Structure 1
Amino acid sequence: MAMNANEEKKTGKLQWILFVIVIPIIFAIVMLLIVLSVMGMNPINQLKEAPIVASFVDSKDEEILQSQLDEIQKESNNKNTQIENLQSQVSQKEAKIEELENEIADLNVELERREETLLTEEEAIKKMSNSFSGIEPKIAAEIIIEMEEQVALKLLEQMSDDERGKVLGAMNPEQAASYTDSLIERKSAE
């Protein structure tokens, strides 16, 4: 039992030294390092420069860390350059997209104009075919022969079957056959 009391006294003294002296000193050192870091001083680098501490610090490790830091900096610079290049490519592509969208809008406007023109042309051809119904077939045939072929074909398409037959009958056989073939081709293409 005497040994237990001796061991407890040694353990008690060791604990007392640990709690009263060692832990507060460690806490004070850590707090000092934090305060100095916040103030802008780098106490660890300053300790490395101290003559006694410098002998414990391995300069090879420091050189390795510095070379790794340099490599990371180079990679960072390369990545930044790549990012800038990609951003300029994106800007160029966005400009091209905007240009193409403007071109599409212009083409849509042009298409609408052409559709309107076609509608007015179709209306004019319908009116013309109505007016041809009152004309004598021989005169209508002579007029149609003098027209542009596509317009003449559209006009013939708009006429009723009887009127068309009379007008084609008033033409010479070669012209009538040519117009008839063209009309058949147009019908089959639809």
Structure 2
Amino acid sequence: MARNNNEEKKAGKLQWVLFVIVIPIVFAITMLFVVLSVMGINPMDQLKEAPVVSSFVDSKDEEILQSQLDEIKKENENKNTQIENLQSEIGQKETKIEELKNEIADLNVELERKEQTLLTEEETIKKMSNSFSGIEPKIAAEIVVEMEDKVALKLLEQMSDEERGKVLGAMKPEQAATYTDSLIERTNAE
């Protein structure tokens, strides 16, 4: 029983030290850290500067972590810059695509207009060649000679062989030869 009593006294003293000294000190330190943090003071930075405590705080690990953090921040900034550059490039290319689409649309409109003009021109030449069939060959020859060569050749092409022969026969020989040569060249080119 004496031994039990002795052990109880030791356990009682240990409990007393724990409850009266250790727990209040830990509580006070915790409260100090909380109050300093609320005030905007980083207690860990202050501890590093303390002569005894600074030997326990490993600044090399923290420096390594800080350098890694700085590298990650730089990498992140580089990636963000690359993203912005690519987005800008995409915007420029989309603008270029829109410009090209507009140009294609304009060219299509112009092509349709030219096709329509060409059809209208062909119809006009057909009508003119029909009306030349009722004109005296000598007068028709004088009219053809006064036309642009391109239009005159198209008109002569549309005429029947018999009418064309009469009109060419009514022209001066040099003019008839020039138109005949041009008609042959156009026929061979097709």
Partner residue, 2:85: 85
Distance 2:140 2:159 in 1: 11
Q: CA deviation at 1:178?
A: 1.1
Equivalent position amino acid for 2:120 in 1: T
CA deviation map 1:126-151 (0-9, x unaligned): 01000111111111110000011111
Q: CA deviation at 1:172?
A: 1.0
Distance 2:63 2:94 in 1: 46
Distance 1:133 1:73 in 2: 89
Distance 2:113 2:105 in 1: 12
Q: CA deviation at 1:56?
A: 4.6
Partner residue, 1:187: 187
**Gaps (5+ residues) in structure 2?**
1-41
Partner residue, 2:58: 58
Q: CA deviation at 1:71?
A: 1.2
Distance 2:153 2:73 in 1: 77
Partner residue, 1:158: 158
CA deviation map 1:31-87 (0-9, x unaligned): xxxxxxxxxxxxxx9889878987555211210121111011111111111211111
Report runs of 4+ in structure 1 exceeding 3 Å deviation: 45-57
Q: How does 1:23-172 map to 2 (within 5 A)?
A: 55-172=55-172
Distance 1:113 1:102 in 2: 17
Distance 2:156 2:130 in 1: 11
Equivalent position amino acid for 1:172 in 2: K
Report the TM-score when normalising by structure 2: 0.70
Aligned length: 146
Contact 1:137–1:170 (CA under 8 A) maintained in structure 2: yes
Q: CA deviation at 1:153?
A: 0.6
Distance 2:108 2:63 in 1: 66
Equivalent position amino acid for 1:163 in 2: E
CA deviation map 1:97-142 (0-9, x unaligned): 1011011101101110111111111111001000111111111110
* RMSD of aligned alpha carbons: 2.2
Contact 1:47–1:53 (CA under 8 A) maintained in structure 2: no
Q: Give the match's secondary structure for 1:134.
A: coil
